[in-house]
Amino acid sequence: MAAALLFPIVIAFLGSFKSNAELTAGATFLPSEWHFSNYGEVWEQAHFSTYTWNSAFISVFSTIGTLLIASLAAYAVDRMDFLGKKTYVILQSATMFISIGAVVLRPQFELMVNLGLHTSLWSVILILISGHASTFFILLSFMKGIPKDLDESAMIDGCSRLWTYSRIILPLLAPGLGVAGLFAFRHAWNEYILPLVFTMSQPNLQVLTVGLAGLRYGISSAAQTHYMMAGACLSILPLLLAYVLANKSFMQMTAGSVKG
């Protein structure tokens, strides 16, 4: 199963070192001649430094915002009683199972125009943060695994809700934050439609996914498949790094936090 899943990635990696003619012909598995210059040409020709910075900017800030909003919401739903709590959870669930796709792009764009953010990457970040339902439920499940005795002990010692959340709950929620953060980062990094719509008239704000699509045809209007392969391999590296950093968070460890 692992070999079947990794095979397309291996093909893309080997294809990134082939010439365009050899890759288009598809007659070889290993490159007959290794073209390491493909990566350098892609980095310069496609302005990958700008695209990488824009993708990183959107992914990092949207991930931080999503984790903050979703963790606060999960804490409130699990630890507090308030009017409309069940309705709120139902609405969160509805946003996951009812998708209207591109229909909401126009109102989202008009909203950002009214806010004066349609020429900024913050528009994409705010929209990505607003779609935090899956992160909310992930963190809610982790939150339910943290004993409420900790909250009660903190309250007895005079801690406020905010202090309990920031000093006690968040450290114990670290495994859940790692898992949810990885998914949120991957979603933001791979997002294509939103950055395309909001940066269509501003090439300097485009992200890697949009830049990769622009690599399909070069100056001569011929398909530049080898450049797309090299660009795709470069775009995978940050996701691999994020997975390595969040790998340990896939184990929830709260044992020993309460004695007796």
Number of domain units in the chain: 1
Structural domain includes residue 260: no
Read off the pLDDT of residues 105-119 as tens digits, 9 standing for 90 and up: 888 888 888 988 888
Q: Give the model's pLDDT for residue 66.
A: 94
Q: Give the model's pLDDT for residue 100.
A: 63
Structural domain includes residue 177: yes
Q: Give the model's pLDDT for residue 126.
A: 92
The answer to whether the CB of 71 falls within 8 A of the CB of 181 is: no
Structural domain range at position 206: 2-250
**pTM summary value:** 0.81
Q: Give the model's pLDDT for residue 250.
A: 56
Structural domain includes residue 219: yes
The answer to whether the CB of 65 falls within 8 A of the CB of 187 is: no
Structural domain includes residue 255: no
Q: Give the model's pLDDT for residue 137.
A: 92
Positions in the chain whose pLDDT score sits under 50: 219-221, 252-260
Structure tokens at 26: 């598809």
Q: Output b/e per residue, 203-236; b: 16+ Cβ within 10 A.
A: eebbbbbbbbebbeeeeeeeebbbbbbbbbbbbe
Read off the pLDDT of residues 150-201 as tens digits, 9 standing for 90 and up: 888 888 888 888 888 888 888 888 888 888 888 899 899 988 888 888 888 7
Q: What CATH number has the domain bearing residue 140?
A: 1.10.3720.10
Of the candidates 190, 212, 187, 199, the residue with the CA atom closest to the CA atom of residue 47: 212
Structural domain includes residue 256: no
Whole-number CA gyration radius for the chain: 22
Of the candidates 62, 258, 71, 69, the residue with the CA atom closest to the CA atom of residue 175: 71
Of the candidates 135, 249, 244, the residue with the CA atom closest to the CA atom of residue 184: 135
* Phi, psi for residue 217 in degrees, rounded to 5: -125, 130
